[in-house]
């Protein structure tokens, strides 16, 4: 089976550190009829490479390492190469790159230091993105928009990365989605930073497969230089996979709303883990942790 072994789960530092409370809530309260995608509070990392259902989630397989390839299908930039396991799309002018560059690092496009290995994805798509109204950057890292972002010429299309993840072959009561986000120049930015926006869709977890929006940390005081986003989710139809979809529209031009031009998405270390169904004793233990240990801690990286 591809479950996280329960013994590994209990030994994991995050489980002992109190963040289990939020995950326990997801494990105990959701069913297939209550499918959801819940952003977890910041805290010690939950996702583990052991039991990761994502194929090439760290972009290390086939990675170019100390140089870059251009990965968003549709680009005219060369050399071209899509990370194995993933599907990509973009406009002809996109310059989304895979690997690492600059330093000291590893980093890509002067991001924060990569959390795993020596390859990550930069979603470069130019100074072309706009919004019809002001975004709201919530403290959780989720961004509230009144209408979808737009990408204008010459880039025309957003840069999109997708992978179907076979959760249906690893049945579980719930799953953890974990990934690391930084931004172009975020590792060297000075306050107030230029936080950006990216899109996340996880199909088969919310009715209508809505796209949601989250901050790309720009190195400023609010969100730091990088962040690991983690979610709990339950598939609507457990006999089908879920699809991860990451979208960058480009640097947003938000001067009309009082914001500076924004940074662009850097992504690494994508993980999906099944969470085993706790037995009666396990459920009681988790409930106890939830009651006694619930706390919320800010852990936005301040850059390094
Ligand atoms: Ca990596």
Tens of pLDDT, residue by residue over 245-281, are 999 999 999 888 888 889 999 999 999 999 976 653 3
The pLDDT tens digits for 44-54 are: 999 999 999 99
Looking at residue 20, its pLDDT comes to 52
118 C-alpha to center of ligand 1: Å?
A: 5
- Indicate whether 162 pLDDT > 60: yes
pLDDT of 302: 56
Distances (CA, A) of 193 to 139, 140, 231, 297: 15, 17, 25, 22
Cα of 73 from ligand 1 centre, angstroms: 20
- 58 CA distance to ligand 1 centroid (A)? 4
- Cα–ligand 1 centroid distance for 83 (angstroms): 11
Q: Contact 235/275 with Cβ under 8 angstroms?
A: no
CB-based contact 167:273 (threshold 8 Å): no
User: In angstroms, rounded to a whole number, what is the distance separating the alpha carbons of residues 204 and 240?
Assistant: 8
Which pLDDT score, from 0 to 100, does residue 283 have?
A: 43
Report the alpha-carbon distance of residue 78 to residue 109 in Å, rounded. Answer: 17
Rounded to two decimals, what is the model's pTM? 0.85
CA 61 to chain centre: 19
Cα(98) to centroid(ligand 1), Å: 10
Parse the chain into domains and list their residue ranges. 6-59+129-290
Does the structure show a pLDDT above 90 at 287?
A: no
Residue 143 CA to ligand 1 centre (angstroms): 25
Count CA atoms closer than 13 A to 78's CA, side-chain side.
0
């Amino acid at each position: 089976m591809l479950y996280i072994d329960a013994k590994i789960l209990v030994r994991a530092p995050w489980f002992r550190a109190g963040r289990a409370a939020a995950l326990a809530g997801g494990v105990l309260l959701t069913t297939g009829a209550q499918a959801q995608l819940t952003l977890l509070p910041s805290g010690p990392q939950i996702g583990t490479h052991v039991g990761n259902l994502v194929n090439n989630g760290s972009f290390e397989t086939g990675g170019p390492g100390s140089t870059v390839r251009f990965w968003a299908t549709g680009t005219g930039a060369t050399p071209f190469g899509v990370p194995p396991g993933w599907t990509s799309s973009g406009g002809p002018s996109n310059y989304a790159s895979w690997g690492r560059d600059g330093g000291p690092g590893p980093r890509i496009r002067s991001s924060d230091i990569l959390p795993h290995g020596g390859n990550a994805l930069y979603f470069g798509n130019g100074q072309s993105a706009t919004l019809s109204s002001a975004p709201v950057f919530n403290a959780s890292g989720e961004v509230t928009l009144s209408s979808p972002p737009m990408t204008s010429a010459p880039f025309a299309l957003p840069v999109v990365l997708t992978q179907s993840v076979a959760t249906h072959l690893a049945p579980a009561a719930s799953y953890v989605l974990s990934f690391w986000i930084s931004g172009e120049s975020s590792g060297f930015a000075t306050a107030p930073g230029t936080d950006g926006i990216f899109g996340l869709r996880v199909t088969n977890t919310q009715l209508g497969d809505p796209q949601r929006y989250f901050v790309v940390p720009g190195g400023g005081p609010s969100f730091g230089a990088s962040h690991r986003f983690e979610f709990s989710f339950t598939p609507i139809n457990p006999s089908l996979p879920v699809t991860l979809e990451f979208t960058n529209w480009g640097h947003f031009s938000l001067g009309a709303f009082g914001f500076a031009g924004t940074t662009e998405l850097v992504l690494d270390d994508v993980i999906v883990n099944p969470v085993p169904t706790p037995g009666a004793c396990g459920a009681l233990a988790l409930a106890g942790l939830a009651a006694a240990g619930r706390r919320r801690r800010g852990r936005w990286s301040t850059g390094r």
